Chain A
Amino acid sequence: MRDALNLALKEELARDNSVFLMGEEVAEYQGAYKVTRGLLEEFGPKRVIDTPITELGFAGLGVGAAMVGLRPIIEFMTFNFSILATDQIINSAAKMRYMSGGQFKMPLVFRGPNGSAYQVSSQHSQALESWYAYFPGLKVVMPSTPADAKGLLKSAIRDDDPVIFLEQERMYGMKGEVPDDDDFTIPLGVADIKREGKDATIIARSLMVPTALQAAEQLEKEGVSCEVIDPRTIRPLDIKTIIESVKKTNRAVVAEESHAFASVGAEITAQINEHAFDYLDAPVKRLSGADVPMPYAKNLEQMAIPDVAAIVAAVKEVSYM
C-alpha cells in the first residue's frame, strides 16, 4: 500500500511542476510512515518540503498557494493532527470557491493516515471521515486496496477541488497488484463491488473492507453469499451502487471503525432506508467502533473495532440465522 501511494505521488510530481508535497518529516526523514520515501532525492527541496510542526500554518499556506495556481499535497503525519488545521480546511478550503462566486479553484489534497493504529491510545487512533464528509466543498476519499490507493490518489491530485484523502495506518503494509501505468486513475465518486453476492450486502470502507471480505468468505462456507461494497469516495457518495445491491440482496450491514453517532454509516443507513425501504427483509444493521475514546490496552483496543466475527454475526442477524 505505501509503495502504491508513493508511486502515485512520484508520477504526479513528475507529471506537473505545479504539484508540490509538504508536511512534517516528508522529505529528509522520508516520511513518518515512509509513504514519501525517495521523493526528496528525486524532486528536490523546492517540491518536497519538510514543515515545522505547525498544522494550522502549513494547511493555510497550502490553501493560499492553491488560490493562485499551485497544486499542493499536504501530508498530515496522522489525521489526528488535522484537528489543529480544521479552520483552514473547513472555513477556507471548502468555502473559498462558493463564497467568492466561483472565482477560485482549490486543487489541493490533504492526505495521511486516519482511523485506528496499534496501541497508540485515544489521541492517535480515531476516524474523522464523518467530520470532513459533512462539509459541502470538500471531497473525501478512503481507499482500501493498493491499486485503489494509487488510482484514487492520482485522481485526487488532478482534481480541481480540495480532497481529503484518508489512508489507514494499519493498511500501509497491505500487499496487492498495482498497475504501473502512469495514466492509471480511478474516478472519484465511484463505488467498487469488492465481492459479488446475492444474500446480503456489506457496505465497508477502508480497514473494514478486508475485514468484511474475510467475513464474506467465512459466511460463504455457511451458505450465505455476501456482496461487499466499498464506496471508496465518501463525498460524493455513490449511493446508487449501494441501493442497487440492497435491492438485489434485501439485507444490509454497514461496518465502520468510526463512532456510530452521526457517522458516515449513519448516513448510508439513512439513505438505504430512504431509497430501498420496501426492499429490505430486515432492518439495516450498523457496526461501528465502540462509543469510547480508543483505549491503549491490547484487549480493550481489539474490542473497540468491529472484527470478522462481529460482521459474521451481523449478517446472520439480518438473515435471521
Chain B
Amino acid sequence: MDRPENSAPAISEDRDTMVKILHQMILIRRFEEKCAESYSLGKIGGFCHLYIGQEAVGVGAISALRPDDYVLTSYREHGQALAKGMPADAIMAELYGKATGCSRGKGGSMHLFDAGLGFLGGHAIVGGQIPLATGVAFATKYQETDQVTLCFFGEAAVNQGAFHESMNLAQLWKLPCIYICENNMYGMGTSLQRAMSFQNVALKSCAYEVASEAVDGMDVLEMRAAVQRAIKRAREQSLPTLLEARTYRYMGHSMSDPGNYRTRAEIEKYQERDPIKVFTNKLKEAGIIKDSDIAEIEAQVKEEVEHAAKFADESPLPDPQELYTDVYASPINLND
C-alpha cells in the first residue's frame, strides 16, 4: 500500500518528550515480546493480540493528549494502555488473570480498563468501541468540558455498521472524537484487498463530511502531529476527525495465528521501516540521543518488564468470591 507523502515533521520539541516517546515505544515492544514468551509458557490464556510493529500509532497519538482525555480501543490494546500511563505491573497481572490486574482478573488481555486514567477499554467485538467512544465524546460535550476522546480500531472494523453509524452521528452532532483507524492491512487472515471494495479508509470520511488524513503509521512524529491537528479541531471547534494510520503488524493476528496468509518477505519489507528504528535514527541524526542513551532506555525497560512479569507471577489469583461481584452496581438481593 502507498504511504502518505507528508513531509516528516522536524524534531522541534524538547528532548524529554522525545526520550519519553522512545521509551514508551521500546517498552511496548519488549512488553509484547514478554507476553509472547509468557503465553507460550501457558501463563497467559485465551486470546492475546500483540501490538509489535504498530507502536508508533498508539504512542504518537496518545502522546498528544492531555491526561484527562479519554482513550477507547480494541482488543489489541496492551500498547495503548501502556502509552496512556497504565502500570506494566497491573497490565501483566491482568493478562495472568490475577487479582492485582487492572480489571481484577475479570477482563484479561482484551479488556484492560483504568477509569482513573481515562483508559476506557479494551473492547472485543470488532468495531464495538466506536459507538462507545462517540458516546464518551457526546458526554464531554454535554458536560461542557473540552476533553477529547481517541478511538482506535483496525481497518476491518471499517466494514462494520458501527463505524458508519458513528461517523454520521459524530459529524451530525459535532462531537470531539478522533477516530484512528490502524490499517495493518489484515483482518485476522483476510487481506484488505479481499475484504474492502474501496480501500482508501481516509477517503470514506467524505461520505459524512468528516475531516480526515492518511498518516504514515510507522512514523511516531507524523502520528503525533496529525493527532495534534485533530485535537485542535476537537477542542476548539468540537469536530470529529478520521485518521487512517497506515501500519503493519509483525506478529500473527493473535498468538494462535500460524500466519500462512502472507510471506516472510512481505513482513521483512515492512520491518525495514520499523517504527522504533525510524525514530531512533531520526533522534540520532538530530543529535538528541546517543547509543548509550538507547542502551540506558533498554536497560530501564528490561527491568520494568521483568518486574511486571515477576509481579504478575507472584500475585494471588482472584478470591473465589469474586466470581459473583461486580455484576451490578446496585445488586438486588432477593434471597433474604
Q: Which residues of A contact B (CB under 8 A)?
A: 20, 46, 51-52, 54, 56-70, 87-88, 91-92, 96-107, 136-137, 139, 159-161, 187-189, 233, 236-240
Contacts of A137 in B (CB 8 A): 327-328
**Min distance, Cβ B264 to any Cβ of chain A, angstroms:** 36
**Min distance, Cβ B56 to any Cβ of chain A, angstroms:** 27
Contacts of B115 in A (CB 8 A): 100, 103-104
B334 touches A60 (CB 8 A): no
Given known contacts A57-B134, A137-B327, what 5 new A-B pairs fall within 8 Å (CB)? A52-B168, A64-B72, A87-B125, A91-B128, A139-B332
In the bound complex, how far is the Cα of B172 from the Cα of A54, in angstroms?
12
Contact of A88 among B102, B111, B131 (CB under 8 A): B131
B134 touches A64 (CB 8 A): yes
In the bound complex, how far is the Cα of B140 from the Cα of A64, in angstroms?
11
A97 touches B169 (CB 8 A): no
In the bound complex, how far is the Cα of B131 from the Cα of A63, in angstroms?
8
Q: Tell whether A97 pairs with B125 under 8 Å between CB atoms, given A60-B130, A60-B131.
A: no
Number of interface residues of B (CB under 8 A): 48
In the bound complex, how far is the Cα of B72 from the Cα of A258, in angstroms?
38
Instruction: Spot the interface stretch: B17-25, B159-167, B219-227.
Output: B159-167
**Min distance, Cβ A128 to any Cβ of chain B, angstroms:** 20
Q: Tell whether A61 pairs with B134 under 8 Å between CB atoms, given A52-B169, A70-B139, A189-B334.
A: yes
Whose C-beta in chain B lies nearest to the C-beta of A241? B334
Q: Tell whether A105 pairs with B134 under 8 Å between CB atoms, given A46-B142, A54-B168, A91-B125.
A: no
Between A96, A139, A239, the greatest number of chain B beta carbons within 10 A of the residue's beta carbon is seen for A96
B151-179: CB near A (< 8 Å → 1, else 0) gives: 00000000001100110110010000000
Contacts of A97 in B (CB 8 A): 326-329
B107 touches A57 (CB 8 A): no
Chain B 83-136 residues near chain A, CB threshold 8 A: 101-107, 111, 113-115, 120-125, 128, 130-136
B326 touches A58 (CB 8 A): no
B162 touches A57 (CB 8 A): yes
Contacts of A91 in B (CB 8 A): 124-125, 128
**Min distance, Cβ A58 to any Cβ of chain B, angstroms:** 7
**Min distance, Cβ B154 to any Cβ of chain A, angstroms:** 17
B325 touches A102 (CB 8 A): yes
Q: Tell whether A64 pairs with B136 under 8 Å between CB atoms, given A87-B125, A101-B106.
A: yes
Contacts of B143 in A (CB 8 A): 69-70
**Min distance, Cβ A112 to any Cβ of chain B, angstroms:** 18
In the bound complex, how far is the Cα of B301 from the Cα of A305, in angstroms?
66
A54 touches B329 (CB 8 A): no
Contacts of B140 in A (CB 8 A): 68
The 29 sampled A-B contact pairs (Cβ below 8 Å) are A54-B169, A58-B169, A60-B135, A60-B162, A61-B166, A63-B131, A64-B131, A64-B138, A67-B139, A68-B136, A69-B139, A70-B142, A70-B143, A91-B128, A92-B132, A97-B326, A97-B327, A99-B121, A100-B113, A100-B121, A101-B101, A101-B102, A104-B115, A106-B329, A136-B327, A137-B328, A139-B332, A237-B334, A240-B334
